[in-house]
Amino acid sequence: MIPTPRLAGLVALGAVFWAAAVVEPRYIIVALVYLLILAVVAFFDWWQSASPKDFEARRVLDERMNLGTPNLVQLQVRYRQRNGHSKSTFPLTIRDEAPAECLVHLGKGELPAESVEDVSLTAPVIPQITINASPNRTTSTRYWVTPSRRGDFEFGNISVRFPTRWQLWNLQFRRAAAQQVRVYPDTSAVRQFELRLRQGRLRDLGLHLLKMRGQGTEFESLRDYSTDDEFRNINWKASARQGKLIANNYQIERDQTVLIALDCGRMMTALSRIRHQDALAHPIAMSKLDWTINASVLLAHVAVSMGDAVGLLLFTDKVLQFIPPRKGAVQNNLLIETLYQLQPSMVEPDYRAAYEHLLSRKLRRALVVTFTDIVDPETSSELLTASAALRRRHNPLCITINNQDVLEMAANTPADVPQVYQKAMATRMLTDRRQALETLRHHGVGVLDIASEHLALETVNRYLELKARAAF
């Protein structure tokens, strides 16, 4: 039970009578009577107010959250009115104990509840929201949490504070609501892909359309020849039987293999921050490994949906785990569970050991997508040497995340001497990086260097492009 400013003001008002008693002693009786009446009123206000036992409070959320994206959390409070109590609405302040490693955002939106109060507040570390509650109705509010790492998180208890009828006291109670959640690699892009795929609107996501007439090398069907067809697509036997020109219709090959190789070494611990993000989310810095894991989940899902087999190789200075390529949704779920608690190590990656392990498996020709980071020609030469043997049996593709901070530093106009040195150092770092990546390209290794916020979509687009060209 906490006194409100209104009660404190009424108590302070009694000081006027005590001050008057200095001049006129009879005011002492008035002051005592005033305080007695105030005490009775305050007691009655507390006695006839709602009891914490009349409230139910609970949290509703998905126990599987996505890394780096806003995840909805709903708070629901129901007040069971007792006879004789006021039927009017009254304010409730709800405070939830969200995990400390999550960014919190409060905003407007629609919820499927009996009564919804919109709030638009700044984002504190601990969500604290004021809503208007009505008797015998469920009142809901919500906020979003954006996890900054994968793994296990725990929500704590829910605290609720509400005023008495005359607002002389604030009553407060806490409900035990400890709840465990798991933060997985971001699968929101997978759901968007499935939705746009059913709607035939993949371009809305920034993905290139695959089914292009005349492309691919896998025979699909026969059709009448048109002037737009290439001469080599004419099926002469079918044309002789039909008495007219018939062309072969080709489709993109299925039943191919994609192998995702994840560098979990020291360079992948570097943080990369999104520059532009959804209004519901805060700019959040995640490790490069986290960004590549999110991209790997989307790539694996798209490849499986295209009929390809997908495998996974995790390595640092040694091979951590290898999952042989397979098809189907079960393989996707296995990859997500494997990546769920994967963390980088402060060691240098050994590309030779990783690729030798891959070659020892004697897999059919595959697109080997290696997510790593390259900062100088020395690192590039190690990857190039390891890729030399790999290129004879597979198609290597190296994907890296560029450093937006360094790019901005190199592009800025220096205003003082320290900034001149910063610009010079940033320019040198970018030059070394470009040389390293160009060396890989020159020796036949595919390279994609992209910002973190575009990594997943651009990775899938490169896969679709290579698949359409039958370049595996």
Range with the largest mean pLDDT of 94-103, 130-139, 162-171, 317-326: 317-326
The pLDDT value recorded for residue 280 is 37
- The position carrying tokens 């109060």 is 117
Mean pLDDT of 141-161: 88
The pLDDT value recorded for residue 261 is 97
303-340 per-residue burial string, b: 16 or more CB within 10 A, e: under 16:
bbebebbbbbbbbbeebeebbebebeeebbebbbeebb
The pLDDT value recorded for residue 277 is 46
The pLDDT value recorded for residue 334 is 93
Entry pTM: 0.71
pLDDT reading at 319 higher than 90: yes
pLDDT reading at 205 higher than 70: no
The pLDDT value recorded for residue 318 is 94
The pLDDT value recorded for residue 314 is 97
Mean pLDDT of 47-76: 86
Judge residue 170's burial from the number of C-beta atoms within 10 Å of its C-beta, 0-12 exposed, 13-18 middle, 19 or more buried. middle
User: What is each CA distance from 322 to 238, 357, 359, in whole angstroms?
Assistant: 47, 9, 12
The pLDDT value recorded for residue 123 is 39
Mean pLDDT of 267-272: 86
The pLDDT value recorded for residue 335 is 93
What pLDDT digit, counting tens, does each position of 403-417 carry?
877 888 888 888 888
User: What is each CA distance from 270 to 266, 379, 402, in whole angstroms?
Assistant: 8, 16, 11
The pLDDT value recorded for residue 214 is 41
pLDDT reading at 342 higher than 70: yes
Encoded amino acid at 206, one letter: G
The pLDDT value recorded for residue 196 is 63
Which of 175-184, 376-385, 396-405 has the weakest average pLDDT?
Answer: 376-385
For 64, the token pair is 């599987």
The pLDDT value recorded for residue 151 is 86
What pLDDT digit, counting tens, does each position of 106-128 carry?
764 433 333 333 333 333 456 77
Q: At a CB cut-off of 8 Å and minimum separation 6, what does 65 contact?
A: 71, 145, 147, 153, 181, 182, 183, 184
Which of 51-55, 78-82, 174-178, 213-217 has the weakest average pLDDT?
Answer: 213-217
The pLDDT value recorded for residue 366 is 93
- Rounded to the nearest angstrom, the gap between the alpha carbon of residue 413 and the centroid of all alpha carbons in its chain is 34
Largest CA distance in the chain: 126
The average confidence (pLDDT) of the chain is 81
For residue 339, give the nearest of 62, 61, 67 by alpha carbon: 67
77/471: higher pLDDT? 77
pLDDT reading at 52 higher than 50: yes
What pLDDT digit, counting tens, does each position of 130-143 carry?
888 777 888 888 88
What pLDDT digit, counting tens, does each position of 288-313 carry?
999 999 999 999 999 998 889 999 99
Contact (Cβ atoms closer than 8 angstroms) between residue 259 and residue 150: no
CB atoms within 10 A of CB 186: 23
Which of 101-110, 134-143, 431-440 has the weakest average pLDDT?
Answer: 101-110
pLDDT band at 315 (very low <50, low <70, confident <90, very high): very high
For residue 280, give the nearest of 98, 68, 77 by alpha carbon: 68
pLDDT band at 253 (very low <50, low <70, confident <90, very high): low
pLDDT band at 433 (very low <50, low <70, confident <90, very high): confident
